């Protein structure tokens, strides 16, 4: 069974250190730890990555697509700008759940548009780290053979 790939974009390495009123106090490492536990309970491997560079995200999406691995993707601000990520998802055929910690629709209008949503299987936003856990649950329920 392919691993679940979690891909995080620019500035998400800062989680837990700044803007706790918007993004909460959990660090990316806290999220990784909990996702690893949830995957272990189901006997599924987790690949968890973060980069501040768009090309890394494109490479990792293509890689997951080749492996037939589902992706939980928080592309950060690239969500609202990146045609390259849109094309990578479409071209790789990867199953993607787009996630956001914050409710992007309740924030500035430039966060309301996503280049990822049209090529994602689904979108979860606004629940802090729980957005990632809900995305994993959705993948287990809909995309990954149950153990
Ligand atoms: O809500 C989300 O998960 C976002 O993807 C986070 C992005 C933002 O550009 C999106 O519109 C919504 C920003 C990630 C930056 O995270 C920081 C965390 C702490 C301090 C500074 C930035």
Its pTM stands at 0.96
Q: Which domains does the chain have, with CATH numbers?
A: 4-146 (3.40.50.9100)
Block residue for tokens 């479409």: 90
Q: Which residues line ligand 1 (CB under 6 A)?
A: 11-12, 14-15, 18-19, 23, 74, 76-77, 79, 100-102, 104, 111
pLDDT tier for residue 147 given thresholds of 50, 70 and 90: very low
For 60-84, what is each residue's pLDDT tens digit? 999 999 999 999 999 999 999 999 9
Q: How far is the CA of 124 from the centre of ligand 1 (A)?
A: 14
Q: How far is the CA of 138 from the centre of ligand 1 (A)?
A: 22
| Maximum Cα interatomic distance, the chain, rounded to a whole number of Å | 42
């Amino acid at each position: 069974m392919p691993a679940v790939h979690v891909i995080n974009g620019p500035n998400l390495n800062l989680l837990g250190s700044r803007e706790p009123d918007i993004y909460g106090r959990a660090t990316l490492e806290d999220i990784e730890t909990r996702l690893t536990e949830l995957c272990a309970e189901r006997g599924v491997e987790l690949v968890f990555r973060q980069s501040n560079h768009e090309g890394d995200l494109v490479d990792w999406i293509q890689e997951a697509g080749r492996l037939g691995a589902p992706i939980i993707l928080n592309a950060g601000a690239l969500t609202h700008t990146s045609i390259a990520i849109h094309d990578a998802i479409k071209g790789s055929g990867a199953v993607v759940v787009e996630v956001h910690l914050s409710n992007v629709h309740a924030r500035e209008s430039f966060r309301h548009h996503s280049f990822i949503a049209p090529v994602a299987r689904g979108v979860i936003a606004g629940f802090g780290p729980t957005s990632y856990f809900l995305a994993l649950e959705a993948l287990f329920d809909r995309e990954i053979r149950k153990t």
